[in-house]
Chain A
Amino acid sequence: MSDTSLRVVWVYPDLLSTYGDQGNVLVVERRAQQRGLDVQRIDVRSDQQIPTSGDIYLIGGGEDRPQRLASERLVRDGGLERAHDNGAIIFSVCAGYQILGHEFVNDLGERQPGLGLLDVTSGRGEDERCVGDVLADMDERLGLPQLTGFENHQGVTHLGPTARPLARVRLGKGNGTGDGTEGAYNGTVFGTYMHGPVLARNPLIGDLLIKLALDVNALPPVDDRWYEALRGERIASATQPA
């Protein structure tokens, strides 16, 4: 963290902001401000350099061609790796999650290298797209309540030994590998297939990112009434037959 403010970087809104995931930025920004923190939000377009001194980097989902372009430009830029080396927290969704891994399959059907910041490898599933509400249990080491989100992808992501699954699905596909895992993390880098946006549905994950960035164990409480109401409704709706 810089001397005065929490620097939240929104990576490539021109390419990876198609599925409402900028909500994740808004939630982090809001919840940090509610704790009295100054927040500097930095939106970085794909023709601009990634700053290396951010505290939290957020990357969203995007369509297949923009994903290819984004990964090419991020690999060329190198800023996100340097930010990671500087201890930044990175949280990514869907196409962004795949880009943080070793490789993924792009819109041309080719295997394309990612940034390798998460020990995961993604391909494309044979089955139809996974679309719908997801309910999952968060990895027990994180000590967080159930994960609720909306998935819309055809990806299959396999985890390597240094990545832990973010959650285990009860309903939905998650990583699409059939082993029940959803997302991945390694301590400072997080990836998930969940939209919703995921931090609006799971504000305590947003708080976790802030705590990791500030290196603190707790944050002052905020009014979570509406988040709780939404979570209750989505979890109930996912577990009840339509």
Chain B
Amino acid sequence: MAERTKIIIENLSKKFGSVEAISSLSATFDACAFTVILGPSGCGKSTLLHVIAGLETASAGKIFFEDREVQNLPARERGCAMVFQDYALYPHMNVEDNIGYALKLAKVPKTERRERIGRVAEVTGLQSVLERRPSQLSGGQRQRVAIARAIVREPRVLLFDEPFSNLDAQLRHDMRRELAELHQRIGATSVFVTHDQIEAMTMADKILVISNGRIEQFGTPDEVYHAPESTFVAGFIGSPPMNLINGTGDGGAFKLRDGTVLSECGWNGHVVLGIRPESVRVDRQGAVALKVRYCEKLGSHSIISAELADGQPMRLTTPLGSSAEPSSEIRVNFPAKQLHWFDSESGKVIPRRSNGIES
């Protein structure tokens, strides 16, 4: 089992010319935990991973593995292993040589090498294809080879850069479970980059949400889902994501531009109201009227896209069977306990405690 290695990142920045891919980022990834870095395309996820691995040098800031400062060490001295999105297997080597290349370079004796390759091949279910070339493997098998190649060295830190994004939905699902089990077994500190929130929610001990090279939120999947700290996180996580409604707090009520009152509200001025689609309650006597635009029936539930009185779009999910006709009107309630309030300028959450209605 790998050494316990905590990763501490302090004020890390990375610039490419004038583009700042990461700006002054600080976070601590717990030893042996599975941390997921989640964010939209181009937000700096891969860059962060490369800087941790030593494939790119940091422009500023520090990185510690436990108490060892590593940001100036070359990649091979950091003890990380990495799994890449397009597998990056060596096309001219068979599976066994692909997995064993790092050991060969580390001058591990041949017998020990075979033994270790055999062991990871068993763990990853590759025993029967050790002689094949990568081109003779399926996508899932290739990704398993990439994972086997990473874990064969028993690294302190395992880094994954969107490893499953080339796989189909079913295979992704299976690989998620396999990787979670594998993580339990080998216990290396793992950092997993993805833009797929389902991967993040299902596998993470903690999720680091970033956008434009900055941290939006760092917390457990529950915290990120149920207590988003910004409109970015609220609008990024969940499918469909949280509804974000612009309006004004006025005399204890939250009003739309045209004066329609949606709910009670603890303060005055422009605010953003957030409510998850599944928290909206359809109710014949509901306080809020919505105009239905269309309804997607997904079997287990339906997603209704609708419009508020002032034209702002919102979505809600309804349980099995219930649906609504386009252009019809439905009435809903916004349960007070399920509401999130955000500052309309900064997009940051307004803490619940300061909400007079809640207490």
Instruction: Please determine whether chains A and B interact with each other in the same assembly.
Output: no
